[in-house]
Amino acid sequence: MYVDSHIHLQDYKTQDIKNVVTNAVQNNVAQFINPSAHPDDWNTVVTVASEHPNVTPAFGIHPWYVDEDAQNRLDNLEKYLQEYPQAWVGECGIDRLKNPDTARQISVLQTHITLARQYNRPLIIHSVKADSEMTSLFPILPQHTVFHSFTGSADWGKAIQTHGFFIGLNFSILRKKNAAEILHTLNLSQILLETDGPYQNIERGVETLPQNLPLLAQKIAEMLHISTAEFAAIIEQNQKNFIGE
Ligand SMILES: [Zn+2]
């Protein structure tokens, strides 16, 4: 059984959340980690999780939405983590492609890191063109940190994994010209799968669904020249190690 380790269930426009979840479960995707991007999302992911026991909410501010008020808007994060003991922290991080000014992104990220460590929660990182900024934060990241939607270099993947952190793979890795080369250098025992649905369109203009996760596993296994069953067994073990179930 697969876990979709990163899906924004609250963002589907053309699909009913209940159908998205039900169809995925029928395709062996049993559990979902549902990050928020913005405090305005937090109550929505709470509602989704309360209606679907196989959905775990995560609370955070995505680096795209870090503005001058972000630090204040994080004041409630601790309360949410106390109220929802199963919740993760995220997504949060640094995106220099969207915003080259990193000072505020870093300080907002540090607040997420501090609370994730204090409450012993997994942390979901969005990191784009911010390898050196992230590297300087490696020593303070919680043990259970996943760099989601990984499309970086082989060296960057190695750096993340050497520090004990996990890498989240979705369909975007397959679009890289050197995808096979990168996949071969990764430590397979430190990866998770995700769709990042409804984003990361497989087909232009079509919302990505978590029922596509087994297809992602199959395509990655093909590139690794191992059987899908063998790869699925590795992923299942990784899910246990990271999520603890
Ligand atoms: Zn996301």
Give pLDDT tens digits for 68-110.
Answer: 999 999 999 999 999 999 999 999 999 999 999 899 999 999 9
Instruction: Give residue 230 CA to ligand 1 midpoint distance, Å.
Output: 27
Predicted pLDDT at 185: 97
Span 10-39, mean pLDDT? 96
Span 115-144, mean pLDDT? 97
Span 128-150, mean pLDDT? 97
71 vs 75: CA distance, rounded Å: 7
Domain spans in the chain, listed from the N-terminal domain onward: 2-243
Residue with the larger pLDDT of the pair 149 and 201: 149
Residue type, 18: K
If 0-12 CB within 10 Å is exposed, 13-18 middle and 19+ buried, where does residue 179 land? middle
Predicted pLDDT at 126: 97
116 vs 181: CA distance, rounded Å: 33
Predicted pLDDT at 201: 82
> What is the pLDDT of the chain when averaged over all its residues?
96
Q: Record the tokens describing residue 224, joined without a space.
A: 């690794």
Predicted pLDDT at 203: 81
Backbone angles phi, psi at 55, to 5 degrees: -110, 130
pLDDT surpasses 90 at 204: no
185 vs 193: CA distance, rounded Å: 17
- 161 SS3 class: helix
User: What separation, in Å, do the N-terminal and C-terminal C-alpha atoms of the chain show?
Assistant: 12
Instruction: Give residue 45 CA to ligand 1 midpoint distance, Å.
Output: 13
Instruction: Give residue 200 CA to ligand 1 midpoint distance, Å.
Output: 10
Instruction: Give residue 232 CA to ligand 1 midpoint distance, Å.
Output: 23
Cα angle 77-192-140, degrees, rounded to a multiple of 5: 45
Instruction: Give residue 53 CA to ligand 1 midpoint distance, Å.
Output: 20
Predicted pLDDT at 13: 92
Instruction: Give residue 237 CA to ligand 1 midpoint distance, Å.
Output: 23
Instruction: Give residue 7 CA to ligand 1 midpoint distance, Å.
Output: 7
Between the alpha carbon of residue 35 and those of residues 58, 83, 158, 230, the distances in Å are 4, 16, 25, 28
Predicted pLDDT at 205: 85
pLDDT surpasses 90 at 54: yes
147 near 125, Cβ under 8 Å?
yes
pLDDT surpasses 80 at 244: no
- Give 2-243's CATH code, choosing from 3.40.1190.20, 3.20.20.70, 3.40.50.150, 3.20.20.140: 3.20.20.140
Please tell me what DSSP assigns to residue 207: -
Q: How confident is the model at residue 245 (pLDDT cuts 50, 70, 90)?
A: low
- Which of these, 31, 20, 80, lies nearest to 53 by C-alpha position? 31
